[in-house]
Structure 1
Amino acid sequence: MSARLLTHLRHVDLAVPDYDKQLDFYAGVWGLTKVEEDSGISFLAAEGSPEQYVVRLRKAAEKRLDLVSYGAASAADVDTLAERLLAGGVRLISQPGKVDTPGGGYGFRFFDVDGRTIEVSADVEVRRHRKIEEKESIPVKLSHVVLNSPDLDRTRNWYERHLGFRLSDTLSSPHMGEVMHFMRISNQHHSMALAKGPHASLHHVSFEMRGIDEYMRGSGRVIRAGFKKLWGPGRHMAGDNTFTYFLDPHGNTVEYTTELELLDEDTWHPHVYDFSRPEVTDQWGTANPMNELIAKESFNDPDRGCFVAPPV
């Protein structure tokens, strides 16, 4: 396992054919703030986050995950990581250099083992942000991203070996074996999770709300706006966080969450939870039962961006 050089999740970038509909959803009902837009690309911030943006949308002929971006503490750490990845046989898309997106910075891009584009950057200018007020039901920040992989253990081992992720917990069942690994780069239970799927794709993107009241108000707003609620509200056992999942206009799953567990990394030992037990998927028992139809929605469409770097 490599030493940890990543600090946090920065943003998730999506490409979609119906750009206007997608932008209306994220900058409207979902509660993000459009901070910049230029010829079919928009950058959306969470009001409580110091990140310049947490979602980038790009107009494209085909739906795809453009990239997942992580932060590093310094330009020196970016260079160190690039050297390690190159020495480890990882295919770099770009060499470390100036980042030409809001906030600037210094970074580079590379492919993960499934062909997703990953970006790592440092020295990005901090966005002026604010405290989210009581009853204000908009995202505070980007919480985590979950990725589907056809070879769960290979992908987990790659992220541990090359990027210093550590395993927090695993979901398993007697009939399906291991189906999800929760991975961390800090004391936050997971910044990323890997789900067993039929193909490489985006499983879901999660946004943290101020508290449970704001989480429920936000969930209600999305339901009233007519968007499909997949699953929730409830509280997971792994991570101990609340959840409500929706589909965005292009069939990507998005989640509102709160209270994701913070670990004592020195004493933490990963659990293997049997997700066939209802209290594992939802401690409260308030969510609709998890079933094959919900699982299938989260498989998403096969990602057209595997081993194809986004144009911007």
Structure 2
Amino acid sequence: MNQPIARLRRLRSVELRTHAAADSAEFYSEVWGLSVVESGREGAWLRGTGDQHHALQLTQADRNGLGRISFAVSTPAEVDDAARRVAERGILVVQGPGPVDDAGGGYGLRIVDPEGRIIELIADTLAVPALGGDDAVPVGVTHVVLNTVDIDAAVRFYCDVLGMRVSDWSEHQMAFLRCNSDHHSIAFNQAEWASVNHVAYEMPSVDHFMRGIGRLRHHGQLPLWGPGKHGPGDNTFSYFADPAGLVCEYTSGIAQIDEDRWLCRVWRRVPELSDLWGTAGPPSRQVREHMAGIPDPGAFERHDLERAS
């Protein structure tokens, strides 16, 4: 049996391709609470208060989609080991292993999953100090939910190849996968096409979470769904749409997993378990449409493959 290609330490950052990069950068910096660390004609890199150089990269594109998902590994040697295991498995590589010529630097490897998503494994990124203060702003990105046409195949790849573990299922509609003690850093939602469902940002506490929602309301931004508290993951939620229509979430209090004691559970998809507080109501047609997004072929129809050939 093949070993996973690496040990993922944490979800580091997400790149979103967006048709409204400039407006979105303004939204995430002026309203959402991230800080711009670098910017240019093609996009922007934004950080939270945590110790990652950036949590979000926005790249100008003709249509919305996922650029890549970046996971931290411990050392460049682990990246090289991952590259060898990837070659043995015949998985497509679009970049690396080697130094990353991108904001934040590092030594990385980029591979393609079965639905065309680019996954980056990276070590030795630029160190930045965590920011102090008690502002109601995100620490960083905490999870990404992805729409998939084959949830079983997606879960199998991310577990067998990337070494993630299934924390819980929401019937056979959603699967929640972890790479560390956080209940999930990736979740898959069975859908008609592959796309980004939403990106979630960690708030330090429920108080920060609620004050952040208040700030968005002050800017005329009302939640698409929330505030509430999910059953799977036990985390708070409030979902909004950015200027391109991509969904972003404030969350706090994600369940912590004890590997020796945790038992995977299959949750029923009923309102009282989707929202334990009963404050959000069922998700509306509008929020479902935003979360569905548009079909995203990922790397299979982009220049990344041309660079790799």
TM-score bucket (shorter structure): over 0.9
1:47-62 to structure 2, matched below 5 A, reads: 47=49, 49-62=50-63
Which one of 43, 46, 53 corresponds to residue 41 of structure 1? 43
In the alignment, the residues of structure 1 paired with residue 39 and residue 249 of structure 2 have an alpha-carbon distance, to the nearest angstrom, of: 24
State the match for 1:165 in structure 2. 164
Give the secondary structure class of the aligned counterpart of 1:95.
Answer: strand
* Superposed displacement of residue 220, structure 1: 1.9
State the match for 1:139 in structure 2. 138
State the match for 1:272 in structure 2. 266
Which one of 232, 239, 243 corresponds to residue 238 of structure 1? 232
State the match for 2:77 in structure 1. 76
State the match for 1:296 in structure 2. 289
Evaluate the alpha carbon distance shift between residue 107 and residue 222 of structure 1 in structure 2; reply closer, same or farther with a 3 A threshold. Answer: same
Instruction: Look up the equivalent residue of 1:196 and give its one-letter code.
Output: Q
State the match for 2:278 in structure 1. 285
Instruction: Look up the equivalent residue of 1:11 and give its one-letter code.
Output: S
Give the secondary structure class of the aligned counterpart of 1:145.
Answer: strand
In the alignment, the residues of structure 1 paired with residue 255 and residue 163 of structure 2 have an alpha-carbon distance, to the nearest angstrom, of: 20
Instruction: Look up the equivalent residue of 1:246 and give its one-letter code.
Output: F
In the alignment, the residues of structure 1 paired with residue 178 and residue 30 of structure 2 have an alpha-carbon distance, to the nearest angstrom, of: 30
- 1:253-296 CA deviation, whole Å, 9 max, x = no partner? 110000101110111110000012x2210111111222444323
Contact between 1:227 and 1:248, CA under 8 Å: does it hold in 2?
no
Which one of 9, 12, 21 corresponds to residue 10 of structure 1? 12
In the alignment, the residues of structure 2 paired with residue 310 and residue 266 of structure 1 have an alpha-carbon distance, to the nearest angstrom, of: 43
Contact between 1:93 and 1:309, CA under 8 Å: does it hold in 2?
no
Which consecutive unaligned segments of at least 5 residues does structure 2 have? none
Q: Which stretches of structure 1, 4 residues or longer, exceed 6 Å deviation after superposition?
A: none
In the alignment, the residues of structure 2 paired with residue 225 and residue 9 of structure 1 have an alpha-carbon distance, to the nearest angstrom, of: 29
State the match for 1:180 in structure 2. 174
Give the secondary structure class of the aligned counterpart of 2:67.
Answer: strand
Give the secondary structure class of the aligned counterpart of 1:62.
Answer: coil
* Superposed displacement of residue 18, structure 1: 2.2
In the alignment, the residues of structure 1 paired with residue 19 and residue 69 of structure 2 have an alpha-carbon distance, to the nearest angstrom, of: 19
Contact between 1:232 and 1:245, CA under 8 Å: does it hold in 2?
yes
Evaluate the alpha carbon distance shift between residue 270 and residue 310 of structure 1 in structure 2; reply closer, same or farther with a 3 A threshold. Answer: farther
* Superposed displacement of residue 110, structure 1: 1.1
Evaluate the alpha carbon distance shift between residue 310 and residue 269 of structure 1 in structure 2; reply closer, same or farther with a 3 A threshold. Answer: farther
Contact between 2:35 and 2:46, CA under 8 Å: does it hold in 1?
yes
In the alignment, the residues of structure 1 paired with residue 212 and residue 179 of structure 2 have an alpha-carbon distance, to the nearest angstrom, of: 28
* Superposed displacement of residue 100, structure 1: 1.3
TM-score under structure 1 normalisation?
0.92
Contact between 1:66 and 1:310, CA under 8 Å: does it hold in 2?
no
Which one of 23, 31, 51 corresponds to residue 21 of structure 1? 23
TM-score under structure 2 normalisation?
0.93
Give the secondary structure class of the aligned counterpart of 2:82.
Answer: helix
In the alignment, the residues of structure 2 paired with residue 19 and residue 294 of structure 1 have an alpha-carbon distance, to the nearest angstrom, of: 21
- State the number of aligned residues: 303
Instruction: Look up the equivalent residue of 1:189 and give its one-letter code.
Output: H
In the alignment, the residues of structure 2 paired with residue 208 and residue 228 of structure 1 have an alpha-carbon distance, to the nearest angstrom, of: 19
Instruction: Look up the equivalent residue of 1:151 and give its one-letter code.
Output: D
Which one of 186, 189, 192 corresponds to residue 198 of structure 1? 192
Give the secondary structure class of the aligned counterpart of 1:234.
Answer: strand
Which consecutive unaligned segments of at least 5 residues does structure 1 have? 173-177
Contact between 1:117 and 1:309, CA under 8 Å: does it hold in 2?
no
Give the secondary structure class of the aligned counterpart of 1:57.
Answer: strand
User: Percent identity among equivalent residues?
Assistant: 37
Contact between 2:168 and 2:177, CA under 8 Å: does it hold in 1?
yes
1:65 correspondence with 2:58: no
Give the secondary structure class of the aligned counterpart of 2:175.
Answer: strand
Evaluate the alpha carbon distance shift between residue 100 and residue 224 of structure 1 in structure 2; reply closer, same or farther with a 3 A threshold. Answer: same
State the match for 2:245 in structure 1. 251
194-203 vs 287-296, greater mean Cα deviation? 287-296
